[in-house]
Structure formats: structure tokens, C-alpha cells
Amino acid sequence: MLVDSHCHLDYYTPAELPDVLARAAAAGVGRMVTIGTSMAQSERLPDLVAPFEALWCTVGVHPHNAAAAPIPTLEALVALTQAPRVIGIGESGLDYFYDKAPRDIQAENFRVHIRAARSAGVPLCIHARDADDDIALILRQERDMGGDFDFLLHCFSSGRGLAEAALDMGGYLSFSGILTFPKSTELREIARDVPAERLLVETDSPYLAPVPFRGKRNEPAYVAHTAKVLAEVKGITPEAVADLTTANFHRLFRKTA
């Protein structure tokens, strides 16, 4: 069984979702996590996933949305994690590529999410784009000030320096369809060197469809193609990748056990 550890299922219409889930199951994707990107959306996600045994969700505010509303309080984020199928905080982090929110606001939002994840005892899903140094700095500072917390860098496409910093702090890395792109040679080399016990896979659907679906709308079933390339990179079988990434998922997201 594969787990799509990061997707956006509320981006599909209610009429589409049953077929999306059926195709995922047929592809061997047994569990999916749909991700919060704003507080208003995060408040709706527990109801979306509740009817489906295969679904969980996280809650949080994406860096793109950090300036669209007041930054959530630690207490508000922690309260949302009390729902049974909410298994993490996020996605939050820094995005200096689009810069849709001022960088100081992004940083403040990120720090609140780190502290909420620590307080709630659930992992943090981190969005990192063109902000490697500041992501690593904030993670270190927050650990030094408040202690350890669990996290993963989702849709990892950053440099080796951030990968190594995250691993040194006990973090996990999740790889998406970007891993399959022809020009992602450096990313595949990073994935090759990540310890097997720190790897996850995801789609980030409906975005970033892997080869051979690149340019089309992505969906959870396609995580199998990313897992296949990861298996080639690691020199193991796709079945072994499914086993280890699923075990890693349950180890990190303890509420799913």
C-alpha cells in the first residue's frame, strides 16, 4: 500500500471526488492526507474527510495566505487538531519565489505553526520554496528556544543543504512528481542519499503531475509513478518503497496508528 502524504482533495468537485478516490485505490494508494492552506478551509476539512476511512487532513495557513487574514493563534490551531482525523499542522513555511505575503509575515506565521505543532504533539508539514537558508534558520531557532518537534519538508525540491539540515534535526522529506522530471537529476541524487527511514511520497495534487502525466491535472493515483522512480533511485523494488514510505508515514503521523 502507498500513502499520498500530501494532496488537496477539496480542489476536486464533490462529483469528481468518488472517482478520484476509486482510481487511487485501484493504483494501490490506500490512504491520503488532504492539506489545510487557510483557516477557513481548515475548519471545513475535518467534515470532508470524516466519511472516508482512507482520508486524513491537516490544518494550517500556507505562506501565500499569511497576509490574507490575521495570523492564527497557537490556541486556534491546536484546537483544530482535536478532531479525530486531523493528524498534522500545515502546510506552512516560506515562499520567496512568489512572495505573495511580506517575508516578515510569512516568518511570523511559520513560527506560530511550529509552536502549535509542538504543543499539539503532531507533525508540521513545511512548504519551502527559494527560502532554504531562512527555513533552516527558523527551524533551528525554534528548536533551541522551545525544544524538538516533528516535521517534514513536503514536495521537496530544495537544495542539498536544506535536506541535510532537516535530516540533522530529525525531519522527514517527502518527494512529489518533480522527482520524475527529466531535469531533476540533482533532486534524484538528494533522494538517493536520504536515509530510507526518513522518506515519504506525495502528489501535491492537483498540481505537479509526474511523468508520464506531466502537464495534466494530478491526482493521488499518480503517486505510484513517483514511488517507481524513487525505487529506481534507491536501487530497491517499488514494493519496498511502498512498505518503507507507509511505515515512515505512520511513524511520523502517530495519530494514524
Task: State the SS3 of 81-100.
Answer: CCCCCEEEEEEEEEECCCCC
If you ran DSSP here, which 8-state letter would residue 210 be given? P
**H/E element holding 174?**
strand 172-175
Largest CA distance in the chain: 47
pLDDT, one tens digit per residue, over 218-242 is 999 999 999 999 999 999 999 999 9
Average pLDDT of span 140-157: 98
Average pLDDT of span 163-187: 98
Q: Which residues pair with 92 in a beta bridge?
A: 126
CATH number of residue 155's parent domain = 3.20.20.140
Q: Which residues pair with 91 in a beta bridge?
A: none
Q: CB of 216 within 8 A of CB of 209?
A: yes
Domain hosting residue 10, numbered range: 2-256
The yes-or-no verdict on residue 53 having pLDDT over 90 is: yes
| Verdict on whether the full-model pTM lies above 0.95 | yes
Average pLDDT of span 112-128: 98
Q: At a CB cut-off of 8 Å and minimum separation 6, what does 222 contact?
A: 27, 177, 203, 205, 209, 210, 213
The yes-or-no verdict on residue 70 having pLDDT over 90 is: yes
- Dihedral, CA of residue 202, residue 171, residue 181 and residue 184, to nearest 10: 180
CA-based torsion, 207, 209, 215, 219: positive or negative? negative
Into how many domains does the chain fold?
Answer: 1
